[in-house]
Amino acid sequence: MTSTLTDRAFAAVLLDNDGTLTDSTAAVNRSWSTWAREYDLDLGRLRGYHGVPAATIVNQLVPEPQQEAALARIGEIEKADTEGVVALPGAWEAVQALGARGAIVTSATLDLASARLEAAGLPTPAVMITADDITAGKPDPQPFLRAAEALGVSPSDCLVVEDAPSGTTAARAAGCAVLAVLSTTPEEDLDADLIVPDLSHVAFVVNGSGVQVTVH
C-alpha cells in the first residue's frame, strides 16, 4: 500500500489538527469531563466522538432547549485550557514543507484551533477550514471538499492526513487519498492507504509536479 501514495504527486495535502499535528488529548479530556459534569452526563457517552465537531456532540447528547448554552459552554472551557498542548513529532516540519500546498481541516472552531496551534508553536496556513466554515462536519466529506475548493484543486488530487475514523471516513467520501497516524486510534480502525506512527516517519517534498510523499 505504500506505493499507492509514494508513486504519485498530490496537488495539496489536507491536515487534521488535533491528534495529527497537535497532541491536545489531555486538554480535550479535561474540558469535556468538566462539561459533562456540569450537564450531568455520563462520560461514557462521549466515547467514539473523537474528531467530531462539538456542535454535533452537543446536539446528540443535550436536550434541544439547552443546546445553544451547552455549545457555548464547551467552547469557553476548551479555549481556556491549552495546558500541555504540544506539537506531535514531524508536525512542524510537515506544515513548513507544504507551505501553500497545505491546509488544516479541523472540527474545532477557528478560535480554538488557533489557540491550540499557537500553544503548540505551529504556524497557521493560509487555508484553514474549521467548524465555523461548514454546515456538516466529519464524517461528512464537506470539510475536505471546502478545503480543496479553497485551494483551487480537485479533491481527488488531495492527500488527507488524519488520526480518527470520522476523519478517514470523511476523506474517503470526498474522494481523497488517506494517510493515517497512530496517535489516538488503533490501526485496525483506520481506513487509509498508508498508516504511520506519526508524521516524523514521512516527508513532504514540494516540486513542480506537486507534493510527493516519502517514507522513512
- Determine whether 18 is an active site residue: yes
- Give dist(CA 91, CA 119) in Å, integer: 13
Give the DSSP letter string of 34-90.
HHHHHTT--GGGGTT-TTS-HHHHHHHHS-HHHHHHHHHHHHHHHHH--TT-EEPTT
**Catalytic member of 16, 23, 140, 163:** 16
Secondary structure of residue 195 in the 3-state scheme: strand
The Cα-based distances of 193 to 43, 66, 103, 185, 210 in angstroms read 33, 41, 19, 15, 19
**Catalytic member of 7, 18, 193, 198:** 18
Cell reading at 120: 503548540
- Give dist(CA 108, CA 106) in Å, integer: 5
- Determine whether 111 is an active site residue: no
Q: Please, what is the end-to-end C-alpha distance for the chain in angstroms?
A: 15
What lies within 8 Å, CB to CB, of 68 at 6+ separation is none
Cell reading at 3: 506505493
Among all residues, which ones are annotated catalytic? 16, 18
